[in-house]
A and B are shown apart, each in its own frame.
Chain A
Amino acid sequence: MSETDLAAPAAAANDGALPSHATPWRRRLPLLPALIFTILLTQVPFVMSIYYSLTNWKVVPPTPREFIGFDNYVELTSSSPFLDAAWVSVKMTVLSVFFSVILGTLIAILLDRKFFGQGIVRTLIITPFLLMPVVAGLIWKNQMFHGLFGVVNWLLDWVGIDSVEFVSKHPLASIVTVLVWQWTPFMMLIMLAGLQSQPSDVLEAARVDGTTSFGIFRQLTLPHLRRYIELATLLGTIYLIQVFDQIFVMTGGGPGSTNLPFFVYRRSIGGGWQFGLASAYSIVVVIATLLVANFALRVLSNLLEDDV
C-alpha cells in the first residue's frame, strides 16, 4: 500500500491527458497570436540582415547594392576591432554577472534576517534597478566618478589618494560598476526568494542536530540555492549581453568599452553607414549568441525538469 507508493513526482500538469473535446488545434490556438507576433518581429529582420550581409551596401558614399557573397564575412574575421569588441563583450558580461550575483547573494543573506526597518532597507537597495540605464550611467559618470567633482574622488582625496579619472582611464571598470550597481538588486531578489523558500522544518532539524549557523549555510542553504544562482546567472546574462545605454552615455564607445552590440551599432546607423558589413557583423553576433543561448538553455532545461 503506502509502502509501495513511491514519492509522487511534481504535479504532472505538463503531461495532462487530452480531454476528448479539446482538439490539438484548440490547444494551439491561444498560443498563436503571441508566437506569430514574435516570429514576425524577430525572424523577418534576421532574414533581411542575412540578405544585406551578402551585399556591399554602403550609404556613405552611396554605392549601388551589389551581391558579393561572403566577402563581408571574410573581411570580418581579420578585423581586429571586431575581435576586440567580442572580447570586451565577454569581459563586460562575465564580470557584471559574476559580481552582481555574488554581491546580490551576500546582501540577500544580510537581509534575510529580521531587523528594524528591513522593508525600508530593501526598498532602498531595489531602487537602482528601477532607474533608467541612461540615468544610472549619467549619475556615475557625472557625479560619482567625475574627475573633479565626483564624490568618489572627493572620498579618495579625503583619505589622501590622488584623484582618478575613472571613466576615461578605466572605461570598462566604470561601466561594469554601473552594471553591477543596477543589477545586484535583481539578483538579490532572486536569492531572497531562494533563501525564503527553504523548508523551515529542515532548518530547525539541523539546529537540533547540532549544526552551527555557518554549518547550516554551507551544508544546506548553498546546495538549495544552486538552482537560484543558475537562474540568476542565466537571466542576468540575457540582459547584460545586450548592454547599450550605459556605454552610450558614459564613454560613447571608446576603446576598451565597446561591446558587440555597440560595435555593430557604430558600423551601421550609428555613424558607419556600412550596412552590408554591419549586417555581416550582426549575423555573426547572432550566431554566437545563439550558441551561448543553447548552452544556457540546457541549464534552463534542467531547471524546468528538476524536482526539488
Chain B
Amino acid sequence: MSANERAVGEGVWTDRILGLVAWLVGFIYFFPILWLIINSTKDEVTANATPTLDYSPSLDRYREVTETSVGLLGAGEAFTNSAITSVVSTLIVLLLAIPAAYALAIYPVKKWRDALFFFISTKFLPLVASILPLWILARQFDLLNTRLVLIILYTAMNLPLAVWMLRSFFQEVPRELVEAAEIDGTSLIGVLRSVVIPIAAPGIAATGLLCLIFAWNEYFFAVQLNAADAQTVPIWVTTNISTRGNFIAKLSAASVLASIPVVIAGWVAQKRMIRGLAMGAIK
C-alpha cells in the first residue's frame, strides 16, 4: 500500500494527531537554533535582555562580525582555512580509505577482522590524551600554526570511520562485476575506477560528507595547535566571546555564519547521509 495512505480501518484522527505531534516535536527541537537566528538579527541591548520578539530585525551584526578582525584573523581567512583543511583532509581520507576498504571488502585479507578492529579501536582513544606528544611533534617539525598539521590530524581522525563505512558499501558491489573486470586483465586502479567507485558512488559521497562535517566542526586540535595563522572557523566563532561585556547578538551572527556551510550540505544530502549511516553502520 502506498505510504501516504491510511491503513484500512484505522481512524483518520490517529494519523493527523501523530502528524501534529511530530511537527510539534520538530519545532521544539529546532527552537534553540531558531532563537539563535533571531538573536543574530537583534542589537546587543535587545539580545542581552529578557527574551522578546518585539524588535526590528537587522543584518547589522553580520556586517560587524565579518568586517572587524578581532585580534588575529577575520572571517574570510578563517573560512578559507576551514575550507582548505576540511576539503583536503577529506580528499586524502578517501584516497587512503577507498583502497583499504577494497582490501577489506572485496578480496579480503586473511586478518580483515583484526584490521577493522584496529581501525575502530583507534577511535576509542581519547585524542585529548595524545595532545601533548602531538604538540611536541608538531613543534619539532615546525608544523605549529599551519594548515598542514590540521590536515594530517583530521585525516587521522576521520580515517577509521571512512574505512568502516566504505567497507560496507563496497560489500554491496556484486562480486561478479569485479571478477569480470579482473578476467579482462584490469589492474587494481582500473577495477576501482571502472567498477567499484561508480557503483558505490552514493556511499562514497555520504562518507565524504560526514568527514567534511567532522573536520569543519572540529575545535580542540585547531585551538591547541594553531594560535594564530591557521585559525579555523570554530576558533573564529569563539573570538566573539568577550568577558568585557555581553555580545550575544554578535556571537549569534558569527555562529550562524559558521554553521551555514555544513548545515546546508547536511540538509541537501540528507537522504544520502541516512543511507550512508544506515548501511555503514549495519552491515
Binding site for B on A (CB under 8 A): 11, 13-16, 18-19, 21-22, 24, 26-31, 33-35, 37-38, 41-42, 44-46, 48-49, 52, 107, 110-111, 113-135, 138-140, 142-144, 148-151, 154, 181, 186, 189-190, 192-194, 197, 207, 227-228, 231-232, 235, 238, 241-242, 244-245, 248-249, 260-262, 264-265, 268-269, 275, 278-279, 281-283, 285-286, 289-290, 292-293, 296-297, 300-301, 303-304
Contact = CB atoms under 8 A, between A and B. Distances in A.
A35 B115 contact: yes
B278 A190 contact: yes
A13 B182 contact: no
A18 to B, nearest CB: 8
A37 B128 contact: no
Contacts of A114: 3-4
A282 B130 contact: yes
A260 B131 CA distance: 13
Interface string B129-148: 11111111100000000000
A139 B108 contact: no
Contacts of B7: 207
B263 A143 contact: no
B100 A30 contact: yes
B108 A115 contact: no
B244 interface: no
A210 to B, nearest CB: 13
What 5 pairs between A and B have smallest CB-CB spacing? A193-B278, A115-B19, A30-B99, A282-B129, A45-B133
Contact of A242 (B22, B35, B126, B219): B126
A128 to B, nearest CB: 7
A42 B255 CA distance: 32
B124 A238 contact: yes
B39 interface: yes
A304 B21 CA distance: 36
A193 B281 contact: yes
B72 interface: no
B134 A35 contact: no
Nearest to B49: A149
B212 to A, nearest CB: 11
Contacts of B237: 132, 134-135, 138
30 contacts: A13-B175, A14-B108, A16-B108, A22-B107, A34-B96, A34-B100, A34-B119, A35-B100, A37-B159, A45-B134, A125-B29, A127-B266, A130-B259, A132-B216, A134-B219, A142-B251, A143-B36, A151-B32, A151-B35, A193-B274, A193-B279, A194-B282, A227-B282, A232-B281, A238-B124, A241-B124, A249-B238, A264-B129, A289-B126, A290-B121
Contacts of B109: 24, 27-28, 31
Contacts of B266: 126-127, 129-130
Contacts of B263: 127, 130-131
B217 A132 contact: yes
Residue of A30, A138, A245 with most partner-chain B CB within 10 A: A30
Contacts of B156: 37-38, 41-42
Q: How large is the interface on B (under 10, 10 to 19, 20 to 34, 35 or more residues)?
A: 35 or more
A140 B251 CA distance: 13
A190 B36 contact: no
B238 A134 contact: yes
Contact of B33 (A128, A232, A260): A128
Contacts of B220: 244-245, 248
Contacts of A227: 282
Interface of B: 3-4, 7, 15-16, 18-19, 21-23, 25-27, 29-33, 35-36, 39, 47-51, 96-97, 99-100, 102-110, 112-113, 115, 117-137, 152-153, 155-156, 159-160, 163, 171, 175, 182, 188, 213, 216-217, 219-220, 224, 233-234, 237-238, 241, 248, 251-252, 255, 258-259, 262-263, 266-267, 270, 273-274, 277-279, 281-282
A275 B135 CA distance: 12
A31 B234 contact: no
Given A22-B107, A260-B126, A282-B132, A126 B270 contact: yes
Given A121-B22, A275-B132, A33 B100 contact: yes
Contacts of B30: 124-125, 127-128
Nearest to A283: B129
